[in-house]
Each structure stands twice: as structure tokens, then as C-alpha cells.
């Protein structure tokens, strides 16, 4: 048993289906018969690549399944890579290169080549998922990125929000004398005038 996985039983199944003795299996795998004996007795773990090679001798394949019994494919080999051709963190979600994060739009890095993709850290990723964001099964690949771009072209640009009212700072018309204390009676603005009860009026000037 390898961590609860019955490797020994699979090796025996291979020898049974392929009609191989321990010596025959050792010759096929390029190991000694003693090594086969240790594997089948559970004294030594079987490397995964050796197990896959052994299964092929009996026309068998190793497959990973989910709890509902459906097959789980390995992570795609052609996922997008960074500029150093390294994989992006597998547990995070990728955004297309044109979806530049707000912070990077404000503080662009001109000393680096254009990003191949972007990823949100765990906190932002979790926030997206809890607010209805889609959690993709895999990272973007060249093919899926091309399909996404084509879909966006078909859908057209996202609707722009109507611009809100533009606030304009009022022009201050205070006299020079007003800046010494408060607005003098002759001031047309009276933004810091003292009312009769001693309270200041509403400021209209910056």
C-alpha cells in the first residue's frame, strides 16, 4: 500500500493479466527480481512512473477520479506562463493580459515587458468567488485566451457608466483683508463671516 493506494494489488494484477513472473516483470521494467519482491511485499514504495510502465504491460492505464467517479484530467501543459516562462501559482485564478489591475494602471512598470497574464492574490480571489465571480477550472491557455478574446469581440465593449455631475470649486472673491481674521462686511463672498449670534456662516470658498 502506498498511502492507502493499493499499488501491491495493482502489480499483482499486472502480472496476472500479462502472465508475467516476478523475474519477467523485472526484466520488462529494467530492475532486479529482488526489487519486484520488495515492491510486492510493501517493503519499498513503487515510483509512480514505474507503476505506469507496469500497467501498460497489461494494457491498463492509471486514472484519477473525483468523488462522483468522473475522470480528472491533469493540469494543462500549455497554460500561460510569465515572462520567464514559469507557471503562475496553480491555486490562483488568471486574468487576461489586457485586464490590467487598477493599481498597475496607476503605477505602471515601464522597465518590464508586457505581462503575459495577471493573477489576484488569495484574498481578492476569494472576494471574487463570494460575490458571484466565476472560478475557472484551469488557468488560461493560448487557445482559451483566444476564445475569450473572440467572445469579447462578439459581445462588444462593456457599457460605460453615465458620467456624474462635475463639481466645480467656487471662485473665492474674498478681499485681502478677509484673510487676516474673518470676512469683512464689505466682502461679497462672506464665506467666513460672523453672524449676529456669533456663529460662522457656511463656507462657499475653498
What does the alpha-carbon distance between residue 173 and residue 140 come to, in Å, rounded to a whole number? 59
What does the alpha-carbon distance between residue 10 and residue 78 come to, in Å, rounded to a whole number? 31
Q: Which domains does the chain have, with CATH numbers?
A: 1-74 (1.10.260.40), 75-137 (no CATH), 173-206 (no CATH)
Q: What is the pLDDT of residue 100?
A: 92
Q: Per-residue pLDDT averaged across 7-33, rounded?
A: 95
pLDDT digits (tens, 9 = 90+) for 155-185: 987 666 666 666 565 666 777 776 666 777 7
Give every CB contact of residue 184 below 8 A, 6+ residues apart in sequence: 175, 177, 178
pTM above the 0.85 mark?
no
pLDDT digits (tens, 9 = 90+) for 80-108: 999 999 999 999 999 999 999 988 888 88
**End-to-end Cα distance, the chain:** 78
- Is it the case that residue 41 has pLDDT exceeding 60? yes
Give every CB contact of residue 12 below 8 A, 6+ residues apart in sequence: 40
Radius of gyration for the chain, computed over Cα atoms and rounded to the nearest angstrom: 35
Q: What is the pLDDT of residue 2?
A: 47
Query: Which of the four pLDDT bands, split at 50, 70 and 90, describes residue 198?
Result: very low
Q: What is the pLDDT of residue 206?
A: 47
Q: What is the pLDDT of residue 160?
A: 65
**Cα-Cα-Cα-Cα dihedral of 125, 128, 134, 137, to 10°?**
10
What does the alpha-carbon distance between residue 160 and residue 124 come to, in Å, rounded to a whole number? 24
Q: Per-residue pLDDT averaged across 60-71, rounded?
A: 91
- Is it the case that residue 200 has pLDDT exceeding 50? no
Amino acid at each position: 500500500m502506498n498511502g492507502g493506494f493499493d499499488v501491491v494489488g495493482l502489480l499483482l494484477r499486472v502480472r496476472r493479466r500479462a502472465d508475467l513472473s516476478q523475474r519477467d516483470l523485472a526484466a520488462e521494467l529494467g530492475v532486479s527480481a529482488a526489487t519486484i519482491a520488495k515492491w510486492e511485499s510493501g517493503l519499498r514504495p513503487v515510483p509512480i512512473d514505474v507503476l505506469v510502465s507496469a500497467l501498460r504491460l497489461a494494457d491498463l492505464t492509471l486514472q484519477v477520479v473525483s468523488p462522483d467517479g468522473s475522470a480528472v484530467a491533469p493540469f494543462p501543459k500549455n497554460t500561460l506562463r510569465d515572462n520567464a516562462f514559469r507557471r503562475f501559482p496553480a491555486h490562483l485564478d488568471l486574468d487576461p493580459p489586457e485586464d490590467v489591475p487598477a493599481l498597475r494602471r496607476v503605477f505602471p512598470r515601464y522597465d518590464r515587458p508586457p505581462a503575459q497574464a495577471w493573477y489576484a492574490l488569495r484574498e481578492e480571489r476569494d472576494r471574487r468567488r463570494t460575490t458571484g465571480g466565476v472560478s475557472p477550472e484551469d488557468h488560461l491557455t493560448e487557445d482559451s485566451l483566444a476564445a475569450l478574446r473572440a467572445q469579447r469581440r462578439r459581445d462588444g465593449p462593456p457599457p460605460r457608466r453615465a458620467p456624474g455631475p462635475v463639481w466645480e470649486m467656487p471662485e473665492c472673491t474674498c478681499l485681502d483683508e478677509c484673510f487676516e481674521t474673518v470676512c469683512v462686511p464689505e466682502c461679497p463672498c462672506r464665506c467666513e463671516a460672523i453672524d449676529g449670534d456669533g456663529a460662522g456662516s457656511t463656507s462657499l470658498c475653498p
